[in-house]
Chains A and B, each alone.
Chain A
Amino acid sequence: MTPLLEFAKGPLFRLCFVIMLLGLARIIFLDIWAAYKAYKKAGDKKMPWKLTLSRTWEWVFPVKRLIHNFQVYSVLSILFHIGLILVPIFLFAHIQLWKGALGISWPALPYGWAFWLTISTIVFGVSLYIGRLVIKQARMLSRKQDYLWLILLLIPFITGFVCANISISPGSYQFFMTVHVLSGELIFILIPFSKIAHCVLQPLSQLVSTLAWKFPPDTDDDICTTLNKKGAPV
């Protein structure tokens, strides 16, 4: 193992993981704190919990989407996300890494599952990338980061697959493994500061959207005063 790879798998991994955890904890805290403050300020505190929770459930486990609009796109996206979540957490080799770095472990995915999930994630990820390029409305909406994120997310999958399943020279293996680990760590660091924060914030979206309609009372006067419009006609 090269010193760089050793460093990347050891201290750097721990550092990046901690940055990700703290970053995610920060945005979850900020979100929940903002929601709490909004709730406290709201004139009407009666929340439609049932509707909010059912819509949250529908989107955290978007099974209904499989038979909904834009089916191909939705199916690809859902399958892509399944691999994206399961493989990094439940791959046997990763669990060893977690165990080495953090001292904890859990059951691993069977090899066959991991193999096919990795392939499907790569294939579906590439398909989504092509979709962004080809579908007019998706292309129009896409920012640079939307394309870059797909590429960045696929790098550890492709390099990891090569290392685990293809016979290559030790030198090449070291190279692919280094890219694999470093790209994974770059993702860790960027998650809390990018749109990938949706991995923890998306389940709060329906709550935020519902709460956002719960306005504070008596703001008319305050806003008029701030904008110097007191007594001005409509």
Chain B
Amino acid sequence: MKTSRITDDERAKALKSSIKPEVIEKQKLNVRYNIEKFDVNDRPRRFLEAFAAILKHSNYRMMLDHYSRIVSRCSLCTTTCHVYQATGNPEDIPCYRSGLLLDVYKRHFTLAGELKGRISGGGYLTDEKIQEMADSFWNCTACRRCALECPMGLDHGLITHLGRYILSEIGIAPRALVVSTREQLEGKTKNTSAIPVPALKDTLEFLEDDMFEEKSVRIKFPLDVEGADYVFFAAVSDYLMEAETLMGIAAVFAATGDKWTIGTGYYDGINYGLFYSDRILERVVKQVDEETKRLKGKNILIGECGHASRSAKQFIPTYCGGEKALPVVSILEYTHKAWKEGRLKLGPDVVTEKVAYHDPCNFARNRWIINQPREVLKAFCKNYVEMTPSGDNNICCGGGGGTVSIDEIRPYRTTVGGKLKADQIRKSGCEILVAPCANCKKQLRELVEDQGINVQVVGLHDLIYKAIIFDDSLIEKKEEQPSGKEEK
């Protein structure tokens, strides 16, 4: 899909930094995201030390050797990168961005590069190069669509991932992500939104009452049930912002009757480690695993969130026992299976608006979950429309790779990152956009607001909650209305 480039005015607005000049001066780094105080001295040496340590204990060297041998700079990735498509800025070309790190690797970690560097006397890593990487790696939304287009098979998203990881080891990482992660791993509440257990319980009780009011069914959010089939981890921000998604999920379980639970020891599916640090990724994944084991749960169930689902699906086996690791199920898979088995009934006349489905990159890029939510939606949404391209070739919402959580770059996200998506939404003519991902939903809501598109952005289970039909045996008759009020 082609798009028009942003105008100069839009570019100025998008690239305008909210970081104060004195802060930039002090941190000796000009980036648009806030960073916590960090050591600014001797940065290149520390970057290389971190790089060396990561290479020593990881598998990245294989990828870097292979990529640096064959990278051909053909520019085909420009045809799919939504950031480059919007800006037309050569520095936003995925292959250019990857080249920043590959050059450092070749120069400092290969024999040929070392010899070449000594002969020419140049090519050293400098503060300027670190500045460029710190800026560039966070302009990318790590959607990995460009990887589909690279004839050489380079996964530029993986290089961005590694680049951010190394930078984070020398203190260069968005404060929004670091502070949330600190609370999740070392704070009292153990979650990124700092929701304490009593507040969680209050919220869930309130939602249960609400659901009874609306559906006349005792729908529960079971807490700390041992031996449940599914231990549930939502993107914890859902408890603050996505009540209908959670109610939809609880309603599905009420309809199927399967045992599920939320552990109060740990209940956050968010894993910012996927965006900036493998060390964080590992720690968060282990907390999910530990909580599930504490409750003797049989499956780890992740809510509507692309990165949380992929983090668990891909990395629970990595860090928690390989083949013996607990199975990870996405709520999209669970609901689809329940519907397919006839255990979930959805009313076909409830949602009449034009509905489109947005593929979160972390579900679709590797062809993990593409058709399941579509099948469910088509079953009860009369007016379903498809956006193209979609599936594994979908266009990123513009807030992927953790960028959506960095509020200070919202103008960048909704002007540059989301430009192509906004054009696609407009073209589809949809009235409701279903995005089963906490990150995508936040970004898409901000995008349609900033771009003036009249579309309602919801989760899949928000619509399911509206359309679900419960078995009569579950519906309780409400108490009779007080006298004096007419019954309809």
Contacts and interface: CB of A to CB of B under 8 A. Distances in A.
A220 B154 contact: no
Contact of B56 (A74, A143, A226): A226
Contact of A46 (B63, B317, B367): B317
Nearest to B60: A212
A11 to B, nearest CB: 28
Contact of B72 (A51, A198, A204, A206): A198
Contacts of B154: 205, 209
Nearest to A208: B66
Interface stretch (A86-94, A134-142, A157-165): A134-142
Given A48-B366, A201-B69, A233-B186, A213 B319 contact: no
B198 to A, nearest CB: 25
Interface in A185-234: 193, 195, 197-198, 201-202, 204-206, 208-209, 211-220, 222-224, 226-227, 233-234
Nearest to A200: B70
Nearest to B68: A195
Contact of B151 (A35, A136, A202, A209): A202
A73 interface: yes
B59 A38 contact: yes
B152 A215 contact: no
A140 B66 CA distance: 23
Contacts of B56: 222, 226
Contacts of A135: 75
A209 B153 contact: yes
Given A137-B93, A142-B73, A226-B56, A205 B153 contact: yes
B364 interface: no
B268 interface: no
Q: Give the interface size bracket for B toward A.
A: 35 or more
B315 A201 contact: no
A219 B57 contact: yes
Given A74-B76, A146-B73, A217-B319, A209 B63 contact: yes
B78 interface: yes
22 contacts: A34-B61, A37-B62, A43-B319, A44-B314, A44-B317, A55-B153, A65-B151, A70-B76, A137-B93, A141-B74, A141-B95, A198-B152, A201-B66, A201-B70, A202-B151, A208-B153, A209-B154, A215-B315, A217-B319, A224-B279, A226-B53, A234-B280
Interface of A: 27, 30-31, 34-35, 37-38, 41-46, 48, 51, 55-56, 59, 62, 65, 69-70, 73-74, 77, 135-138, 140-143, 146, 193, 195, 197-198, 201-202, 204-206, 208-209, 211-220, 222-224, 226-227, 233-234
